[in-house]
Amino acid sequence: MQSTETLDMIDVDTMLWHVGDFGRYQYMLISLFSLINAFSAFHYFGQTFISLVPEHRCKNLNKNLTHTSYLACSTKIIHPNETIELPCVSGWDYNSTYGYISLIQELNWVCKDDWKPVLGQSVFFIGSVLGSLGFGVLADHIGRLHVLVISNLFVVFGNLLTLLSSDAIVFGISRFIAGCATDSNFVMMYIIVMEYIRPSMRTFGLNLCIGVFYCLSCMAVPWVAVLLGHWKWFLLMISLPHLSILAFYLLVPESAQWLISKGKTEKAIICFERIAQINKKQVNQKVFDTLRGYANVHIKKNGPETFFGLIKTPKLRRKTFILMFKSMVMTLGYDAISRNINGFGLSPFLIFTISSSTILPACGFILAFQDKAGRKALASGALFISGLFTAGAGLILAISAVPNTVVPVIFAIISRLSINVAYNSGAQYAVELIPTVVRGQGVSAIHVIGYAASFFSPHILYLSNIWQPFPEVVLGILLVVGAVACLFLPETLNRTLPVTLEDGENFGEDERIFEFSCFNRNKTESTQTLSPKQNDKKYVI
């Protein structure tokens, strides 16, 4: 039992120290977060494989006619003096990879109907943008846990409606609904887990789940589709498990910081009491009284806040805009670089698996270095390296007199690993920098802007028609500029995170541009890892 005689008030992070910040309860949360990672990977990339376009060719128009080749949407008939292309009216033959039948094959959405699956992909993207923004606002009104459950139910409803699709309208509506859940069905649990884990263990706990379970799930997605053999069975298999998220109401706590920010301090205390019970910690009631004092003085004096509070004051506005720009650069770079590594002549299933395997080493790198180098150094460094090697790969291809794919491929792999590091660590950086009172709205808005930027990915890649290394050079410049922008963000490693907008305005303002935690560890030593008794002056207001 910890003494609290010298404490007038303590905040949420110190309260977590009392009830156990890395015990049995945290292991349970990490396990559930691993489950969320698997579900979100199958949901997001399941969209790719239900809409997979197999190789196809036109069937014979006339068995007596001899054709030497097939085109996707017409039959080429070779005569002695001319070649005649006739439209395909007799249907198509499909080369089903590993025997898997996609929605495209079943409904014959190829050739003149190839716009229908494109529509589905487009509205899924639109749904993800609007859903992330809408659920983010909702999360700051009704709580993270409620939105986590609701968004996963959207997955089930949208995917089950997709099973009934027989025309483009139903398909578009169903994919829009399923897309609305994208991001929120993952980010809300990310926020909750991050808030209930010891700050020094956040990088390890969160990135271990992403690196192992998200990576393995991504690699497994195509082979689950192959095993089930048909897109309907595949979609059903990856949808129904989301219903288990309803059980999270019995297992997962609401964000205590959100509860306190809404004046629901007693509910937050109930969450802490439950954590203490499972972690077998005995906590003096005086400790909870100090948390009540902190909430009454430091939180309740602030009224309800919205996302626009992030851009009202100059310093917080600068940080928010930098986070938005960083999200745009990372998401655009991640999508474009992923699209640009292809042409190995392998099946789409195998290519997807090989590409997804880069997630694990990237997260392993984050685990090894993020809590040593710090968030700012890792984000800036990863973006810079990715930009440098992306541009280098394109320039080598352009200036090489003799075609050489080995060096550009090595450069491309390094670039892909680096952008994975930046992308996977970027979510934690944003969550830590955005103040608690608008964390749901702020993080969602940043994600939405990142998603919106990925719209330009295919257009950047199209620039190769003008000059071969154009896409790589453009992406390289953007990534390097993003790396420079990260230098103007404050470090969050081992710091007490901002709760109110005032905290966010003042957070890290005494920090220099080239000041990194790895070079200044003593100064940034966390007050959160010490006992409240050792740190009592820190929490007196």
- The mean pLDDT of 327-345, rounded to a whole number, is 72
User: Is the model's pLDDT at 452 over the cut of 80?
Assistant: no
pLDDT tens-digit series, residues 276-311: 999 999 998 889 988 888 888 765 555 556 778 888
CB contact set of 510 (below 8 Å; sequence gap of 6+): none
pLDDT tens-digit series, residues 226-247: 999 999 999 999 999 999 999 9
Contact criterion met (CB below 8 Å) for 541 and 297: yes
- The mean pLDDT of 211-215, rounded to a whole number, is 88
Question: What's the confidence (pLDDT) of residue 79?
Answer: 52
3-class DSSP assignment, residue 19: helix
Nearest to 326 by CA among 479, 125, 128, 509: 479
- Domain 1-54+96-300 maps to which CATH number in 3.90.380.10, 1.20.1250.20, 3.40.50.2000, 1.10.3720.10? 1.20.1250.20
CATH 1.20.1250.20 spans which residues of the chain? Answer: 1-54+96-300, 305-526
Question: What's the confidence (pLDDT) of residue 403?
Answer: 56
What are the φ/ψ torsions at residue 51 (nearest 5 degrees)? -105, 20
pLDDT tens-digit series, residues 381-418: 999 999 999 898 888 877 765 555 677 777 877 888 89
Q: Give the domain 305-526 fold.
A: Growth Hormone; Chain: A; (1.20.1250)
pLDDT tens-digit series, residues 3-35: 434 445 677 888 999 999 999 999 999 999 999
**DSSP-assigned letter for residue 358:** T
pLDDT tens-digit series, residues 74-88: 555 555 555 555 566
Other CB atoms within 10 A of residue 339 CB: 15
- The mean pLDDT of 176-190, rounded to a whole number, is 90
**Cα–Cα distance measured from residue 141 to residue 307, given in angstroms and rounded to the nearest whole number:** 12
